[in-house]
Amino acid sequence: MKSALRERTVEREGTSFPSATYAELILGPAYEQAKRHFVEPMLHIHRAHLIMLVEAGILPKSEAIPIARAILSIDAEEIRSSEYEAKFEDLFFKIEQMLIERAGDAAGNLHIARSRNDMGIAIYRMTLREKLLRLFEAGLALREALIDLMEEHVDTVMIGYTHTQQAQPTTLAHYLHAMADVLTRDLERIQSAYRCVNRSSMGAAALTTSGFPVNRRQVQQLLGFEEMIDNAWDAVAGADYATETASAVQLCALNLGRSIQDFLLWGTQEFGALTLADPYVQISSIMPQKRNPVAVEHTRALLSSVVGDAQTVLWMVHNTPFGDILDTEDDMQPYVWRAVDRLEGMFRLLTGVLLTMRVNRDKLLRRARESFASVTELADAIVRRERLPFRQAHHIVSEAVKELSRQGEASLSMLTLDVLNRHARSVAGRELTMAADEVAAALDPVHFVRVRSLEGGPSPDRMREAIQRKKREQETLKAWLDGKRSMLREAKEGVDRILREWVKEA
């Protein structure tokens, strides 16, 4: 005898698939997601698969033409504006029914040697590759902005920090160059992820391929995939294309977040190095003087959310069965997309912030000249001039700085030859033969930067060489992006052209 609770549950949920709750929580939202992302990839797959069936001799062209006409008649916008209907489990069955209504039962032959398994994975990969190219383009724009700023700030001397303490003079161009190098590696990781993503699963069918003599290579090429996943099990079960993407995106967000921390610090009134342009600043509702750097704050927070979404992808794959499972398909994909899309947005936002900010060059140089950040060069000069061991020269300068620091407010101008000689006598047993002007030259932060002319150093000449190299690399990266987009565009246009020619000939 059924309880009243069970009867109410059956009444609410229904007696056939899908239950009301399952449709509300899973299938409805999945349909909304699919109609936003999957219409074009699905139609592209239908067209490519139909062409292959005909050319492989599996389906007569006379039967394929009505199907081709039906596929070409489907309006993507019509589907995007449609609502979920429980009688169709998902978008695939919705479109299949549309094709049958327009081409007759023969349209069912379009599914020969094919499964939603290999189709679904192909659709996910086609969707993700487009997102990765948009991400790459935004990252490339940020990289171009960094190069532009490097040129502008070759001579912008500032203090570099290690352990969050003043270390040595360098330039803003040197810092931006480091950022550009990290970003370049991030872009290379995105390229690597794209290669893993842009591989065709079509022809794997459910798990074991098919007894029909399909041409997997042809479908691969028609869909714009550069490679084919050889093993059919791997084709429907492998999820590393998504996890590699998540890992690349996560690492990029972590890397960029470290510089965001610096920009927020440098923009404080106490530091006073950067001033954000008005479009990126929010005024306090109560404090008239406030200029809140909200654009950079949002960037910091949203980069953290990118890290979180990417980590969710990794955890959703962790300890899952190696097979066709929803964990690595429907449920995981939105986290991959959100991480990629959000990172793209942060690339674009930060590009605008950096290109419009004002840098207080005078304050940065003054701070460098007032600090002890350049005394490494003084120790080096003592080694060269006095022929003393570096450790002794280091000790002389260190003791001189300590003496001045104990006196309270100390500045670089107080580090004179007389102060050095007091410690040279106790450390080296003699006074230095250097002249006062040699000491002053060694302490000049501009001189410090100029003589750091080794590979990777901040000297203006080295920076200009680096800028030219970065520009050449930029052209190579742009060519990669253009090539990938051209390949995808030509693949899509190619299958459309073939089907339209069939219909026209008929």
Q: How confident is the model at residue 194 (pLDDT cuts 50, 70, 90)?
A: very high
For residues 183 and 238, membership in a common domain is answered with yes
> Is 27 or 343 the better-scoring residue by pLDDT?
343
For residues 210 and 332, membership in a common domain is answered with yes
pLDDT at residue number 506:
75
Q: What is the pTM of this model?
A: 0.94
For the segment 458-472, what is each residue's pLDDT rounded down to a tens digit? 999 999 999 999 999
Query: Which CATH number is 36's domain given?
Result: 1.10.275
In a domain, 471, yes or no: yes
In a domain, 257, yes or no: yes
Stretch (H or E) spanning 167: strand 165-171
pLDDT at residue number 86:
78
CA–CA distance, 51 with 61 (Å, rounded to integer): 9
CA–CA distance, 426 with 396 (Å, rounded to integer): 9
pLDDT at residue number 33:
82
In a domain, 504, yes or no: no
Q: How confident is the model at residue 102 (pLDDT cuts 50, 70, 90)?
A: very high
pLDDT at 409 over 80: no
For residues 282 and 148, membership in a common domain is answered with yes
Mean pLDDT of 55-66: 96
pLDDT at 325 over 90: no
> Is 38 or 407 the better-scoring residue by pLDDT?
38
> Is 36 or 354 the better-scoring residue by pLDDT?
354
Stretch (H or E) spanning 166: strand 165-171
For residues 206 and 351, membership in a common domain is answered with yes
Adjacent-strand bridge partners of 163 = none
Q: Which two tokens stand for residue 367?
A: 């701070």
Mean pLDDT of 482-486: 98
pLDDT at residue number 190:
98
Mean pLDDT of 46-60: 97
CA–CA distance, 144 with 148 (Å, rounded to integer): 6
In a domain, 45, yes or no: yes
pLDDT at residue number 195:
98
Mean pLDDT of 255-268: 95
In a domain, 39, yes or no: yes
Looking at the chain, the whole-number percentage of residues with pLDDT higher than 70 is: 99
Spatial neighbors of 294 by CB under 8 A, at least 6 apart, are: 280, 281, 282
Q: How confident is the model at residue 78 (pLDDT cuts 50, 70, 90)?
A: confident
pLDDT at residue number 22:
85
In a domain, 455, yes or no: no
Closest CA relative to residue 355, chosen from 206, 168, 142, 196: 142
Mean pLDDT of 13-17: 86
Asked if 459 and 449 count as a contact pair (C-beta separation under 8 A), the reply is yes
Angle CA(464)–CA(468)–CA(472) in degrees, nearest 5? 165
Mean pLDDT of 401-408: 85
pLDDT at 177 over 80: yes
Spell out the SS3 assignment of 429-495: CCCCCCCHHHHHHHHCHHHHHHHCCCCCCCCHHHHHHHHHHHHHHHHHHHHHHHHHHHHHHHHHHHH
In a domain, 367, yes or no: no
Mean pLDDT of 429-450: 92
Query: Which CATH number is 405's domain given?
Result: 1.10.40
For residues 422 and 273, membership in a common domain is answered with no
Lowest-pLDDT range, 311-315, 325-329, 356-360, 394-398? 325-329
Provide Rg for the chain, Cα atoms: 32
Question: One-letter amino acid identity for 206?
Answer: A
Asked if 334 and 310 count as a contact pair (C-beta separation under 8 A), the reply is no
Q: How many domains are contained in the chain?
A: 3
Strands 274-275, 358-359: pairing kind: antiparallel
pLDDT at residue number 85:
83
For residues 276 and 410, membership in a common domain is answered with no
Asked if 193 and 248 count as a contact pair (C-beta separation under 8 A), the reply is yes
What residue numbers bound the domain in which 349 lies?
A: 128-155+166-214+227-360+464-488
For the segment 124-159, what is each residue's pLDDT rounded down to a tens digit? 999 999 999 999 999 999 999 999 999 999 999 999
For residues 286 and 317, membership in a common domain is answered with yes
pLDDT at 411 over 80: no
pLDDT at residue number 34:
80
Strands 227-228, 274-275: pairing kind: unpaired
For residues 136 and 25, membership in a common domain is answered with no
The beta strands (E) that lie in 210-327 are given as: 227-228, 274-275
Query: Which CATH number is 302's domain given?
Result: 1.20.200.10
Q: Which two tokens stand for residue 422?
A: 């007091």
DSSP state of 106: G
Mean residue pLDDT across the chain: 93
For residues 295 and 427, membership in a common domain is answered with no
For residues 479 and 407, membership in a common domain is answered with no
3-class state of residue 240 by DSSP = helix
Spatial neighbors of 475 by CB under 8 A, at least 6 apart, are: none
For residues 56 and 196, membership in a common domain is answered with no
In a domain, 209, yes or no: yes
> Is 181 or 5 the better-scoring residue by pLDDT?
181
For the segment 344-353, what is each residue's pLDDT rounded down to a tens digit? 999 999 999 9
pLDDT at 1 over 60: no
For residues 422 and 280, membership in a common domain is answered with no
